Amino acid sequence: MAGIGDAVATAAAAFLGGVTAVTLCSTGVGCGWFTSCLVEVRRRLQRIGEKGSRPAFDPDMFRSRYLQQMRYDHLDSDQAARLGPILAREPELERAWRMLQHLYGIHLARDDQEANQALGAFLQLWGEQEIAEFLPAVDRLLDWAEEIFNFHSCGRVSNGRLEGRMNKLGVLKRTAYGFTNTGNFAARAILISPGLPS
């Protein structure tokens, strides 16, 4: 754990020192690698009783789980009013929520400079108080920093379309299990992949 903390401190100093070259997806699709960190914090904090007891978790915190994962700019006033008291009651959840918003900021930044500002804000929060559930996100940021932050320099291109097509082909393959006509399978693959040259 101490090695990761040192690596984070070094990375924070480098990024805050003015390194320019880093970011990700603008739609929020595929951002599960860091939203899962907030989910794990919520799961740990919402448990109020032993397993098998009723209620075993805080119902208000559980019911607001989708609001907790939303970007702040997507919350309407009613949703913000429901989320506010829950975050105010749980300071660690509120800190994790703010960290998540800064990670969203990396994706939404218009250029490398904004992305580095969002990353700097995330790393500053991380430096003030490390939340163990965010270790995988920090690890991934360190491992994939170059690829993540090249997002802006290559015209905000992502592999989302390719992943979507591969998912459709995987579903087709599972539903076609047992069929032996490979020509029929290939024709179906072309039909579910519009826009591809045949």
What are the structural domain ranges in the chain?
A: 2-149, 160-191
Angle at 29 (CA atoms; ends 24, 30), nearest 5 degrees: 70
Question: In this structure, what are the phi and psi dihedrals at residue 57, rounded to the nearest 5 degrees?
Answer: -145, 160
pLDDT for 196 equals: 60
pLDDT for 163 equals: 85
CB count in 10 Å sphere of residue 94: 16
Q: How far apart are CA 61 and CA 30, in angstroms?
A: 24
Q: Does pTM surpass 0.75?
A: no
Q: How far apart are CA 194 and CA 197, in angstroms?
A: 9
pLDDT tens-digit readout, 111-148? 888 988 999 999 999 899 999 999 998 998 889 888 88
pLDDT for 107 equals: 84
Per the structure block, which two tokens stand in for 187?
A: 């024709």
Q: Which residues of the chain have pLDDT under 70?
A: 1-31, 196-198
User: Cβ neighbours of residue 163 under 8 Å, at least 6 residues apart?
Assistant: 30
